[in-house]
Amino acid sequence: MHSLSACELHRRFIAGEVSAREIADTFLDRIRRLDPALGAYLEVFEESVVEQADRLDRKRQGKESLGLLAGVPIAIKDNINIKGEKTTCASKFLENFVAPFDATLIRRIREEDGIILGKTNLDEFAMGTTCENSSAHITRNPWNTNNVPGGSSGGSAATVAAEMASIAFGSDTGGSIRLPASFCGISSFKPTYGRISRYGLVAFGSSLDQIGPMAYRCEDLERIMQVVAVPCEKDSTSLPDPAFSPISFEKRFGDGFTVGVPWQFLEGLPNETRALFDRAVETLTSMGAKVVEVDLSILKYAVSTYYIICTAEASTNLARFDGIRYGVRSDRAQTLDEVYDLSREDGFGDEVKRRIMLGTFVLSSGYQDAYYRKAQKVRQLIINKFNEAFSKCDCIAFPTSLGGAFTFEEKKDPLSLYLEDLYTVGANLTGVPVMALPSGFLSDGRPLGFQLFGKQRHDAELLSIGRAFQEATDYHTKRPKGGDK
């Protein structure tokens, strides 16, 4: 049952072929057996899951209307609020914080009868590339537990890859759902900025953050987007667009479509990574795509631009964590100033402190013009270049990373980890939708993915291309060994 798509699980539940309690018990049992070795979850709501399932079975028995997610088990990254449950952001600072309200995302999932399994691990406050920066524990890659799952949404990716949830949600500030998806052999979708409400998401970089779903199959991503991609009056950045509706690839792109590739920007890509990317582009060609070259060489400035903007916004957003209003207060403090200083010293991890200090520096008097404002100007230039590229094509193909998942010991230098975002941050700086899709395996068996960037507000068209790509390939059908395999 755990290997079925979310859409198929929903169909079987609606048809009465399986009960919601059977679905819940299957996934809870799988979590108990597999998660101790993976560390994907921070908390599993066992009692609540059983209650949700029993309620669904009663609704079906009473012939009540059932939602689009009825019977679908879903995991949530632990920087998204669920009322009455802890939202820790994998930080000591929030280890005692209980969310007082539901995020809009959670409300929509509940309204459509999704089964919320629990909270997944992440790099603290979504700042990281490996899921090692959690204050709770590290998360391991289901394909090889010696390897990182990617970050910061590593827990959500590992949960889906190990089939301990049908769908998981993460947040993507600079590639945080796409890099883990690539490393774990699954699919993910970062919508157009504002397409999914950020109300109830703990902010990292407010102009960059976007909630997005992860699953093996594009059809499941389309199903969940129908539920959560709706306007939200509680989020001032929410787009006023109509609710998301899938479209037919054949009707929209039956006469062909155009894929842009920034070939010059891909020079220096490792041979195996390049070979898998080229094969993915060949598959798109076999689907009727015309491939054109686009100039996105400006992206050589993207990582430095991104890390100036995101750390500046992080410094501002995390200023609220002061040991006064909520979170853990240092028991060493004797004065008010010490409460502020020592609570932050004890509560934040090294990576969070590093980004706060960098962000505070680029916003400080005398440096704001030289760094932050200049970065915003470069951001606009990047947006202009993407608009120019999209005038020639329907979507743009990119690698997701330089290579596959690496070991925990392999990369410790912060700069080398920041450079893992080379191919992902462009989507967040420009606000365009982008999806990561499995594109094959390296010679040592590690999965690898690639990305498709779409035009702003053309989320449905992009997902339809992804679905057609999966119909032409079988990479998304492969599963890591272990468990029941």
Which residues carry out catalysis? 77, 152, 176
C-alpha distance from residue 483 to each of 32, 217, 449 (Å): 11, 20, 23
Long-range contact pairs involving 370-376 (C-beta distance under 8 Å, separation at least 24): 371/308, 372/308, 372/309, 372/312, 375/304, 375/305, 375/308, 375/309, 376/309
CA distance 191 to 405: 24
Torsion of CA 474, 456, 429, 79, to 10 degrees: -70
Residue with tokens 């010490």: 338
CA distance 123 to 132: 6
C-alpha distance from residue 436 to each of 172, 282, 399, 423, 445 (Å): 12, 17, 9, 11, 19
CA distance 124 to 73: 25
Sheet holding 115-120, edge to edge: 41-44, 115-120, 73-77, 167-172, 210-215, 187-190, 434-441, 447-454, 395-399, 257-261, 289-293
Question: Within 20-111, where are the H helices?
Answer: 20-38, 46-61, 104-111
Residue 327: half-sphere exposure toward Cβ, Cα within 13 Å:
25
- Answer whether the bond into residue 152 is a cis peptide, omega within 30°: yes
CA distance 474 to 25: 29
How far out from the chain centre does Cα 435 lie? 10
290 backbone dihedrals φ, ψ, rounded to 5°: -100, 130
75 forms bridges with which residues in the sheet? 118, 168
Burial 53-67 (b: 16+ CB within 10 A, else e): beebbebbeeeeebb
Other beta carbons less than 10 A from residue 3's beta carbon: 13
Nearest alpha-carbon partner for 181 in 211, 219, 218, 154: 154
CA distance 226 to 205: 26
170 backbone dihedrals φ, ψ, rounded to 5°: -135, -175
What DSSP designation does 50 have? H
How far out from the chain centre does Cα 283 lie? 25
